[in-house]
Amino acid sequence: MKIAYLTNQYPHIAHTFIRREILALERTGFEVVRLAIRSSDLSQINKDDQEEARKTRVLIDMPKLTILKLSLSALCKKPISFTRTLGSAITMGLSSNSLLKHFFYFVEACLLSEIAAYEKFGHVHVHFGTNPATVAHLAKKIGNLTYSLTVHGPEEFDRVEKIHLAEKIRSASFVAAVSSYGRSQLYRWSAKADWDKIHIVRCGININEYAEAPPLSKHSNGADLVCVGRLAEQKGQSTLIRALSELKDGGSVYSLNLVGDGEEREALEQLCRQLGVKDQVNFLGWRSQEEVRELINTANVFVLPSYAEGLPVVLMEAVALSKPCISTFIAGIPELIENGRSGWLTYAGDHLQLSEAIQSAMNTNPRDQRSITDAAMKKLRENHDIEEQAEILAELFRNRLAHDKHLPRV
């Protein structure tokens, strides 16, 4: 069975889970066409993604003349559907104060529709319910293409009306949520008649691959704590820095590796200087997947103090490396980490509670620490094995696509 995958950017340094999912799906017998709306920064992607980059067609990287020809081809083939879909794009754009963006989404939908005809696939799966889902939604209206989507959060849940999430759920063949919490949010914003098409398909990793991690490099830059993620307000790194300051005032000085980059880097560096912890915090920028694995491996504790998440894959990776984890009581995180049993959870934004959790994790004896990491690993194996999750997704494709064959085309 041939399907396509569409994301905003692919491959991407933060989207290795999509690569794992595609490859696992192909092992179940699917043929997957890789599509992205825009290019990634190839200098930042992992070496495992270099081959994926070569396999991926980027819509807006096509020559302008080709884009024009494919758009005109869509018009000539289905003038009525083309005109109606353009009207839908205009309506969506006006209601969200983003008319120009939706015109471009419409053009991208024309490209997707034409590529589907050329590549001979009838279904596209979309990761994230934002602009790539809009493109797929409009492409379906043009005709002869169905779509499904995986919604991660939190971005989709922050802008449900602006991105027309309920309309996309109604139009999709099925919708995958990455956690039980995510499914509950989709229930909130969709019609009850659509609830039966919403399923939990968790992100997964190759757990045994992490269990067989290579020996640590003699050049490893180990630290007491490691935090991996985009440097952004929602990731909560400022709370972590304040917790380090609180611990220092109490006589406990811990080093921290911050892996990632983003719009908050300058503000976070300034906060470190203000609180007197700049010598404790290493801003390492983005690192390759291999480097991230080694940085997690060489730390004593993994910390993810997020204010908003879906269910972060990097947390799964830390668990797979048998690293004690500290995170927050938000979104799908408690579905992986159970406070006091398989890790430590704190209230998001509470630097005092976070400092206490760090102190507790650092002071836990090796025997109790092993009990905690074993409990986390058990939950990881139950819910986040990529082969099992890919099979769940494959079955959804088989069932829903068989059902969709009997539906009238737009």
Dihedral (Cα; 56, 59, 64, 70), 10-degree rounding:
110
Query: What pLDDT, on the 0 to 100 scale, is given for residue 48?
Result: 74
Report the C-alpha gap between 410 and 406 in whole angstroms: 13
Residue pLDDT, tens place only, 46-94 = 777 888 999 999 999 999 999 999 999 999 999 999 999 999 999 999 9
Sequence-separated (6 or more) residues with CB below 8 Å from residue 162? 96, 98
Is residue 166 a contact partner of residue 186, using CB atoms and an 8 Å limit?
no
Q: Which residues of the chain have pLDDT under 70?
A: 42-45, 211-221, 404-410
Nearest CA to 247 out of 296, 283, 280 is that of 280
DSSP-derived pairing of the beta strands 325-328 and 123-127: unpaired
Q: What is the pLDDT of residues 272-297, one digit of tens each?
A: 999 999 999 999 998 888 899 999 99
369 contact partners, CB below 8 Å, separation of at least 6: 324
Contacts for 175 with CB less than 8 Å, ≥ 6 apart: 148, 149, 150, 151, 169, 186, 197, 198, 199
User: CA distances (Å), 337 to each of 17, 266, 358, in order?
Assistant: 19, 31, 15
In whole angstroms, what is the distance from residue 35 CA to residue 145 CA?
15
In the structure encoding, which two tokens stand for residue 261, read together? 């980059």
Torsion of CA 322, 324, 328, 334, to 10 degrees: 50
Other CB atoms within a 10 A radius of the CB of residue 406 amount to 6
pLDDT attached to residue 65: 95
Where is 72: in which H helix or E strand?
helix 64-77
Q: Report d(CA 74, CA 110) in Å as an integer.
A: 6
Give the DSSP H/E element, type plus range, for residue 140: helix 131-142
Q: How many CB atoms lie within 10 A of CB 41?
A: 10
The pLDDT assigned to 410 comes to: 34
CA distance 10 to 246: 40
Q: Which residue in this structure is represented by tokens 């991208």?
A: 108
Question: Which percentage of the chain shows pLDDT scores above 90?
Answer: 86
The first and second tokens of residue 27, run together, are 């092992």
Please, what is the angle between helix 131-142 and helix 79-95, to 10°?
150
With vertex at residue 284, the alpha carbon angle to CA 283 and CA 286, rounded to the nearest 5 degrees, is: 125
Provide the pLDDT for residue 44: 59
Q: What is the pLDDT of residues 366-402, one digit of tens each?
A: 999 999 999 999 999 999 999 999 999 999 999 877 7
**Mean pLDDT over the full length of the chain:** 92
pLDDT number for residue 365: 94
No. of helices (H) and no. of strands (E), the chain? 17, 13
Distance CA 300, CA 345 (A): 17
Question: How many CB atoms lie under 10 A from the CB of residue 175?
Answer: 27
Cα–Cα distance measured from residue 365 to residue 350, given in angstroms and rounded to the nearest whole number: 25
